Amino acid sequence: MWDGVSIWQPINASTAYSLWDLDRDTGVQVEEGGPGTDEDIIRFDTDGTQRMVIDSIGGTYIGLYSPAFSQRLSVKDSDNVYGIGSINATNSDPNNYINLSTFSVRNVNNGLHFLVSGTTNQRKTVIQAGHGHPNYASRAGTISLNPFGGRVGIGVLDPLAPLDVNGRVRIRNLPDGAVTDSIVTANVDGDLRKQSITDIVASVSATSFRTVTTNTTLTSTDGTVVVRAVATTAITLTLPLASDLPQGGCLTLKRLDDTATPAAVNIVAGNATNTIDGNTNAAYTTQLATNAAKMTLQSDGVSAWYIISQ
- Give the pLDDT confidence of 66-82 residue by residue, as tens digits: 666 556 777 766 555 55
Please report, for the chain, the start and end positions of each structural domain, with discontinuous segments joined by +: 59-165, 203-309
| pTM confidence score | 0.42
User: Is the model's pLDDT at 263 over the cut of 70?
Assistant: yes
Q: Which residue has the higher pLDDT, 99 or 65?
A: 65
First to last CA, the chain: 110
Most confident of 34-48, 101-115, 140-154, 217-231: 217-231
Q: Which of 234, 204, 198, 202 is nearest to 221 (CA)?
A: 204
- β-sheet bridge partners, residue 152: 145, 163
Among 101, 90, 106, 104, residue whose Cα is nearest residue 138: 90
Cβ–Cβ under 8 Å, residues 132 and 140: no
pLDDT at 102 over 70: no
